[in-house]
Structure 1
Amino acid sequence: MSDQHVEGFLDEILKTEPTYFKVKFKVKPTNNYKIYIDGDQGITIDQCIKFNRALYKQIEEAALYPEGDFSLEVSSPGVDEPLQNIRQYKKNIGRKVEVTLTDERKLEGILKEVAEDTISVEETKGKGKKAVTEVVALPFKDIKTTIVQIQF
């Protein structure tokens, strides 16, 4: 039951900062809360610390763990974490992504568009003068994972 309280506190805190959103909320058996937050324009370490402190304060004030036997980690999703929700997809339009489909096929290209139930990826096949570029529409239901590809 405490898990629902903590997630509710988090949702209330995020309502005051509408450019940020919850990506993932995990609880390990030892009352270890691991929370991933992102922002439409990204998120800084300082902002993660701010959310952590606000949430920690609410947990303590509600006396959910009178003995203090809980831990709390608030961070941004790592660069190798798959995209989890539509807001993450939208903030990554224009970036190179690798999409793994439910049938294990992989597709790599530029994320062009995000709709309610599909994404469009511009894929280039071949090299040089033989390169062919096409935009492929992929329904979310057919996507297993999408990972942003960091380019240097």
Structure 2
Amino acid sequence: MSTTQSERLRELLEPLVASQGLDLEEIAVDAVGRKRVLRVVVDSDTGADLDLIADVSRVLSAKLDESDAMGDAEYTLEVGTPGAERSLTEHRHYVRATDRLVRFQLHEGGELVARVLAVDEDGVDLEVPGVKGRKATTRRLAFGDIDKARVQVEFNRKDTTDAAGAQNAQNAQNAKNNDTTEDEEA
């Protein structure tokens, strides 16, 4: 039984990635001129910061150096995360997309853009934004009805926790200004 280089690399690297508390999402080997680039995409439920990515990169690089998985030719190792507009292909991806806006391509045809409210083993509960002043509605979408799904970048979303934090900061500033005014009057 023949295995591809990507499959062999996955078998080699996945336990190392898991030992760092991450999921191995994707491996790709691409030719760039005379060199090759090994791209490794990792993620977790809590995300991955730059320090963790650097640690994983060092661990993977050491393992690759001691094995012959990449052969003798030069290559560059790139380790990163899926990015803002990630495709949702696994159950865990949908869970991680809870409270995010997602564009769904449906098997029946058509497209739906909605916010993921909850995820279970059978599908997702969504909030579909209202159009032209109408209220948002909820909808259940089974995984079997989804052809493709991709997280959408939101630039104008108002986060309620940020609004509360901004209000608290404004209240603190007002209190400070009042204290300063009272000190000047005294």
Compute the TM-score of the two structures, normalised by the length of structure 2.
Answer: 0.69
Q: Deviations over 1:93-144 (max 9, x none)?
A: 112222121344111121011122311211133332xx14332222223222
Paired residue for 2:87, among 82, 89, 111?
A: 82
- Where structure 1 has 5 or more consecutive residues not aligned to the other structure, the ranges are none
Q: Which has the larger radius of gyration?
A: 2
DSSP 3-state at the match of 1:94: coil
Which residue in the other structure is 1:69 paired with?
Answer: 74
Which residue in the other structure is 1:9 paired with?
Answer: 12
Q: Distance in 2 between matches of 1:69 and 1:83?
A: 32
Query: What percentage of aligned pairs have identical amino acids?
Result: 23
Matched, 1:142 2:145: yes
DSSP 3-state at the match of 1:125: coil
Residue 68 (structure 1) shift: 4.7
Q: Is residue 6–residue 28 contact of structure 2 (8 Å, CA) maintained in 1?
A: no
Q: Which runs of 4+ in 1 moved over 6 A?
A: none
Q: Is residue 9–residue 55 contact of structure 1 (8 Å, CA) maintained in 2?
A: no
Q: Deviations over 1:43-96 (max 9, x none)?
A: 122222221221111111123345353332211112123123222211221122
RMSD between aligned residues: 2.2
Q: Distance in 2 between matches of 1:115 and 1:60?
A: 41
Which residue in the other structure is 1:53 paired with?
Answer: 58
Q: Is residue 23–residue 85 contact of structure 1 (8 Å, CA) maintained in 2?
A: no
Q: Distance in 2 between matches of 1:68 and 1:80?
A: 33
- Where structure 2 has 5 or more consecutive residues not aligned to the other structure, the ranges are 156-186
Which residue in the other structure is 1:34 paired with?
Answer: 39
Larger displacement relative to structure 2 (73-82 or 98-107)? 98-107
Compute the TM-score of the two structures, normalised by the length of structure 1.
Answer: 0.82
- Alignment size in residue pairs: 149
